[in-house]
Structure 1
């Protein structure tokens, strides 16, 4: 029987590429997205290549839609093998000048969405005594960056959440946990984040403005001079996620490029894949 995988945020980028790649590698894919009107390109590929992908509506900020999708999968397959928490949103703005609505939005999408999706699949994985939860975080989940503190905060939160889970559900219920940590990605995610930041530059005013201008200039310089080194394609990141899904003993953490590895080196050199800290916590608490 094929393993099935529930992937969030599959309308573009890493999620889109992952849905196609997993299906081509003998997985049954439940490709979910908030807005089904964005499913046209994925549907075309499904039909052209006869891929085993079912597209479902799921908004990670709305628990009812998560419950509905999980129940649909259980009714059809009786199991959920892999949850791939991919949905996320970029955000760059000073804490002082971000609105309450913006702070809640980025937290809901990037952190609470992961929690809610994980919460819904855990009972089924626990009962079946196996499962895998893969979450796309970011190098921003390990290293804080200017004007990205609210975004980084949500990714740090996912890292802590996943690490905490890994300390007890892996041994007790054979549920494997991994954080996939990309650097820059040349997808709609990156473009929309930069465009949103640039168009709302008026929020970086006063004493923040010269710092913000240096930040944006640095982003543009990296994009122009080091694109191949800094930025990966969605397919490259999806390929790492597939390898994790096929790994019988996956790491807790994995960076998806040399640039990402180098960028996080000061944070990760003592325990690159997170296995040492999980073992230490188990020894200390369990």
Structure 2
């Protein structure tokens, strides 16, 4: 059955792959981005794949923008079956160097943006007693990493937010909640690390400099060694989660990501065990 899918962050990389693959599978896809002047790559990918996409403006940092996009989909189809919270941004900078403005921006894009999107679709999914909210997290939402403490904090927040919703709104209203946790995307990761560092003032000449240089070199080496996935590979996992009869609460996207986070996830790989325990403890539900 064709689903109505809303995807955020579709101007580049993973968002494009998700939108195109979902359309190829026969779904009705609304691909969104903050700035529609940056839609060329999306349009080109859709044309190459021979699919049609509905493209809307959606800025996850604006409640009005999020609500307007959701309202448009509801006007067109009367439902949203799947929200894929893909929009996000990396941030590599130690706490001492980060400005308060940058910290607030990272949290707003990566966490508050997820909340805005989820909040906007929830009334419609609750009324329908069905739906699926899938959020692109990261192994950084499970394991804190050097120079990524602000980004990891945002992704840890996403993980807790999703777990909490899954513990009561899921069983009560038939809505599924999932986080997908890539370990890195080859086409973007290493380049974006350096791009983001340069955009926030470059490598500052202080005591952190040799540590940051070691971190960046490691990221570049891992990308060169092929440890990261392509955007298409990660998108395939996301669609598998979407199509699952009993979707996981969390899902890593590669063997490397699985191994990297195994000390946190080996006892409950898909999060279902924890969901059942929390439901039973707080809600008295043993289902």
Structure 1 and Structure 2 fold alike (TM over 0.5): yes
Taking a change above 3 Å as real, the CA distance of residues 220 and 40 of structure 1, as seen in their structure-2 partners, is closer
SS at match of 1:177: strand
Stretches of structure 1 lacking an aligned partner (at least 5 in a row)? none
Paired residue for 1:236?
Answer: 233
1:285 maps to 2:282: yes
Specify the alignment match of 1:97 in structure 2: 97
Mean Cα displacement is larger for which, 200-209 or 27-36? 200-209
Secondary structure of 2:208's aligned partner: helix
Cα distance in structure 2, aligned partners of 1:201 and 1:182 = 27
What does residue range 49-68 of structure 1 map to in structure 2 within 5 Å?
A: 49-68=49-68
**1:245-264 deviations in whole A, cap 9, x for unaligned?**
11110110100000000000
Distance in 1, matches of 2:168 and 2:207, equals 46
- Per-residue CA distance 1:132-166 (angstroms, 9 max, x = gap): 00000000000000000000000000000000000
**Equivalent runs, 1:12-51 vs 2, <5 Å:** 12-47=12-47, 49-51=49-51
The residue number in structure 1 matching 2:5 is: 5
Counterpart Cα distance in 1 of 2:204 and 2:115: 31
Q: CA deviation at 1:51?
A: 2.1
TM-score of the superposed pair, with normalisation by structure 1: 0.95
**1:84-127, CA deviations, whole angstroms, 9 ceiling, x for partnerless residues?**
00001011000111011111111111000000000000000000
Q: Which residue of 1 aligns with 2:268?
A: 271
Q: Does 1:210 align with 2:222?
A: no
CA apart distance, 1:191: 2.2
**Within 5 Å, which residues of 2 pair with 1:102-181?**
102-181=102-181
Confirm or deny: 8 A CA contact 1:204 1:212 kept in the other structure.
no
Q: CA deviation at 1:50?
A: 4.7
Asked whether 1:260 is paired with 2:263, we answer no
Does the CA contact (< 8 Å) of 1:83 and 1:121 recur in 2?
Answer: yes
Q: CA deviation at 1:184?
A: 1.0
Change (3 A) 1:265 1:71: same
Q: Relative to 1, partners in 2 of residues 1:158 and 1:43: Cα closer, same or farther, differing over 3 Å?
A: same
How much has 1:192 moved relative to structure 2? 2.4
Structure 1 stretch displaced more, 24-33 or 99-108: 99-108
Which blocks of at least 5 consecutive residues in structure 2 are unaligned?
none
Distance 1:165 1:56, change over 3 A: same
Task: Tell me the alpha carbon deviations over residues 29-51 of structure 1, each in whole angstroms, 9 at most, x when there is no partner.
Answer: 00000111111132234445552
